Amino acid sequence: MALALDASISTFAAPAARATSESRLARGVAMGVTFLFLGVFLVLPLAVVFVEAFAKGVPAYFAALREPDTAAAIRLTLTVAAIAVPLNCVFGVAASWAIAKFEFKGKAFLITLIDLPFSVSPVISGLIYVLLFGAGSALGPFLERHGIQILFAVPGIVLATVFVTFPFVARELIPLMQDQGTTDEEAALSLGASGWQTFWHVTLPNIRWGLLYGVLLCNARAMGEFGAVSVVSGHIRGLTNTMPLQVEILYNQYDFAAAFAVASLLALLALVTLVLKTLLELSYSSEISATGRGH
């Protein structure tokens, strides 16, 4: 009977193996199409950006970045990211903790709200702030009387950036914390730890890699955001233009070398984000897998 069972298993296994194994030609074609697609739509555009950025030489490249309006755009982009990313970290951890560790009414609705920026156009999100804080809005006269400038200033740019980037940290942490459950926290509390001690010494170490992933993605999106910021910034050169807006202005003025110089900084940001993510996965793959982050 054992021989018959082994024979039946091998009978079914052989077709399965043939069905999942491809010829060398098929694998070569699939790999060729993949690399061709990546080369045309990813590598080639990146190469063009850097070639055009240095088209007039290295001195012209750095001179374009030192130009006052461009330097102001770089500083504003870094400032906005420095404000938006920590705010989103706090929100992401709090929202993920509430969703993963507790049961309450409206939980599904909260998850839907977190995903909202993914389905709403960034331009629409910027327009929402115009309707909320513009001169013709209900809050507009109040803000004007008290000298509070939201639109066409740094606060409006920060609000728009926070809106389009806040899901990144939360969406990294929610599935991670759900997989981990509440066993570790319950054990810490049963041993006499306070809620704050449990968070700092149990919850936070368990989610540190997912949190770092979310921070990297959130920072890259915050620095590269265009649509929402374009609506609320007012395009005031030297004051409210971020790096993506400065690229558009320089390109429209046919200053291609300067436009691509600024664009190269954004491209470098994307590459650095990718490299950091890869290094984290290579260096801490065992710890990431142990905390539920196997990808």
Q: Say what the pLDDT of residue 232 is.
A: 93
Name the average pLDDT for the chain: 84
What are the Cα distances from residue 234, in Å, to 19, 41, 76, 150, 231? 59, 32, 14, 11, 7
Q: Say what the pLDDT of residue 5 is.
A: 46
Quote the distance between the C-alpha of residue 86 and its chain's center: 13
Are the C-beta atoms of 133 and 127 separated by less than 8 Å? no
Are the C-beta atoms of 249 and 265 separated by less than 8 Å? no
Are the C-beta atoms of 168 and 218 separated by less than 8 Å? yes
The three-state secondary structure class of 65 is helix
pLDDT at 14 over 70: no
List the single range of 16-30, 158-172, 178-192, 213-227 with lowest mean pLDDT: 16-30
Nearest to 180, CA basis, from 207, 153, 200: 207
Q: What is the mean pLDDT of residues 73-85?
A: 94
Q: pTM here? A: 0.82
List the single range of 18-27, 32-41, 66-75, 106-115 with lowest mean pLDDT: 18-27
- Which residues make Cβ contacts (< 8 Å) with residue 124, sequence separation at least 6? none
Are the C-beta atoms of 146 and 249 separated by less than 8 Å? no
pLDDT digits (tens, 9 = 90+) for 21-49: 677 888 888 899 998 998 888 888 888 88
Helices 204-224/154-165 angle, 10° precision: 120
- Span 56-292 CATH architecture: Orthogonal Bundle (1.10)
CA torsion sign, 135 to 140 to 145 to 149?
negative
- Which residues make Cβ contacts (< 8 Å) with residue 217, sequence separation at least 6? 168, 172, 273
Q: Say what the pLDDT of residue 288 is.
A: 55
Q: What is the mean pLDDT of residues 244-251?
A: 93
Nearest to 211, CA basis, from 80, 81, 95: 95
At residue 151, φ and ψ (nearest 5 deg) are -75, 150
pLDDT at 10 over 80: no
Q: Say what the pLDDT of residue 140 is.
A: 82
Q: Best-predicted range by mean pLDDT among 25-34, 43-52, 84-93, 188-197? A: 84-93
List the single range of 22-26, 121-125, 190-194 with lowest mean pLDDT: 22-26
Sequence-ordered alpha helix ranges (H) in 67-203: 68-101, 107-119, 122-133, 140-145, 154-165, 167-180, 183-190, 195-198
Nearest to 225, CA basis, from 54, 88, 96: 88
Are the C-beta atoms of 207 and 102 separated by less than 8 Å? no
pLDDT at 3 over 60: no
Q: Where does residue 36 rank: exposed (0-12), middle (13-18), buried (19+ CB within 10 A)?
A: exposed
Q: Say what the pLDDT of residue 287 is.
A: 56
